[in-house]
Amino acid sequence: MANLVLTIISLLAIGWTLVHAGEPSPLQDFCVADFDSPVRVNGHACLDPKKVTADHFFFEGLHKPGNTSNPLGSFINRPTVDEIPGLNTLGISTVRVDYAPRGIVPPHRHPRASEILTVLEGEVICY
Ligand SMILES: *[C@@H]1O[C@H](CO)[C@@H](O)[C@H](O)[C@H]1NC(C)=O
């Protein structure tokens, strides 16, 4: 009986491994891209915080409607870290999508990311 209990405990110990998965907490609040640095580690190197300004987190242009006169009937305005240096290493972005009636955005994925849609006018069908 003791052998059986010992065997069960041994099997549990072998097969039961504590797994911890998930994104590590960010080590910094922000890391504004330093485009002059040759270092590339998970994005751009961080600009010296003393050189960071509010403009590094600002993008002007999402208020402008895009031209949807194309075969897809949609226009995506997706500023990246190149336009908003403050997005560097954050893994977030913001996008404006304009659709013509019956316009589409081809199927796509957002690996390791979530998506929130806000429809300001009309109706969007998501599959
Ligand atoms: C929108 O795109 C179409 C096709 O490229 C072009 O003919 C038209 O001039 C553009 N309209 C505007 C307002 O830019």
pLDDT for position 8: 80
**How much distance in Å is there from the Cα of 66 to the middle of ligand 1?**
10
Residue 20 marked as a ligand binder: no
Per-residue pLDDT reduced to its tens digit, 24-80: 776 778 899 999 999 877 789 999 999 999 999 999 989 999 999 999 999 999 898
What residue owns the CA closest to ligand 1's atom 14?
A: 67
- Concatenated DSSP letters of 52-63: --GGGG----TT
Question: Which residue(s) pair with 33 in the sheet?
Answer: 46
Largest CA distance in the chain: 78
Is the minimum distance from the CB of 67 to ligand 1 under 6 angstroms? Answer: yes
Confidence bin at 7 (pLDDT 50/70/90): confident
**How much distance in Å is there from the Cα of 118 to the middle of ligand 1?**
25
pLDDT for position 22: 73
Residue 110 marked as a ligand binder: yes
Q: What are phi and psi of 116, to 5 degrees?
A: -120, 125
Give how far Cα 42 sits from Cα of 8, 33, 58, 89, Å.
44, 11, 22, 6
Rounded-to-integer distance, Cα 89 and Cα 12, Å: 40
Q: Which domains does the chain have, with CATH numbers?
A: 25-127 (2.60.120.10)
